[in-house]
Structure formats: structure tokens, C-alpha cells
Amino acid sequence: MKSSSKSGLVYSTDGGRMCPECRLSLAQCVCKAAKARPAGDGIARVSRETKGRGGKSVTIVKGLALDPVALALLGKQLRTACGSGGTVKDGTLEIQGDHCERVIEELKKAGHSVKRAGG
């Protein structure tokens, strides 16, 4: 078995999840300051994609400057409003189906600036 600097304790019953960089609990992590700024310019770009999905359309929301927890909560709200499934991948929201107009309305209600991207 190889030994690397990244291997080690990932969970402790005392502190919960451990940071792999500084080896402290996530609540006490000192290296998360570098990761604190989420990617995105604050303008939500809503588009529809079908590539690589067997012809099924997916509504994509990119550019939101939210942390992963807030992005997951917003994704849950949008999926509920659209009545469909979806996921959060790499800072983008994916909602199954063509729900661009409904997603734009919900994002405007939530106070985000929204642009329609793509055709």
C-alpha cells in the first residue's frame, strides 16, 4: 500500500469530518479560506442541453456565486418547482427536462440576476 501525504484521517467521532489539507475538523479548518470564494460571476445563465444524454433535454444553470450548501438548497427549490429530478455538479445545477422559463421565473423571484443562454 502506498503512503501519500493526502492519506490519513477523514472522520473522527470527536470532530466529525476532517480536512485532508490541514488535518483539522471542517469547523476549525484553516485552509478553507482559500476555497471560500465560490466560482461564478453572480449572473445565472440558464440554458438547455441534450448532448451526451441520449436526446433527453436538461436545463443547466451556471454562474451562480453560491457556496455548495446554498447551491444545493436552491437546486432543491428549483427541482420542486419544476416537478422533476436533477443534480448539482461542479457548481452548476442540472434539472431534468426543458424547464428554462420556469427556472428563470423562480430565480428572479429568489432575487438573482438571470440571463437566457443558448437558443
Digit-coded pLDDT (tens) for 6-39: 556 656 566 677 777 777 777 777 775 445 545 6
* DSSP H/E element including 87: strand 86-89
Residues 51, 81 within the same domain? yes
Question: Cβ(98)–Cβ(48) under 8 Å?
Answer: yes
Burial of 38 (0-12, 13-18, 19+ CB in 10 A): middle
- What is the spatial distance between Cα 103 and Cα 61, in angstroms, rounded to a whole number? 9
Mean per-residue pLDDT over the chain, rounded? 80
Domain containing 17 equals 6-36
Minimum mean pLDDT range among 12-16, 27-31, 52-56, 89-93 = 12-16
Q: Is the dihedral of CA 106, 107, 110, 114 positive or negative?
A: negative
What is the pLDDT confidence band of residue 1, given thresholds at 50, 70 and 90?
A: very low
Residue 43 burial by Cβ neighbours in a 10 Å radius (0-12, 13-18, 19+): middle
10 Å CB burial of residue 98 (0-12, 13-18, 19+) is middle
pLDDT score for 54:
86
Q: Are residues 48 and 102 in the same domain?
A: yes
> Strand runs (DSSP E) across 2-85, as ranges?
11-12, 16-17, 43-49, 58-62
**Selected residue with higher pLDDT from 29 and 63:** 63
Q: Please give the pLDDT value at position 98.
A: 92
Domain shared by 106 and 54, yes or no: yes
Residue 1, domain member (yes or no): no
Q: Is residue 101 part of a domain?
A: yes
Q: How many domains does the chain have?
A: 2
Structure-model confidence comparison of residues 88 and 38, the more confident one: 88
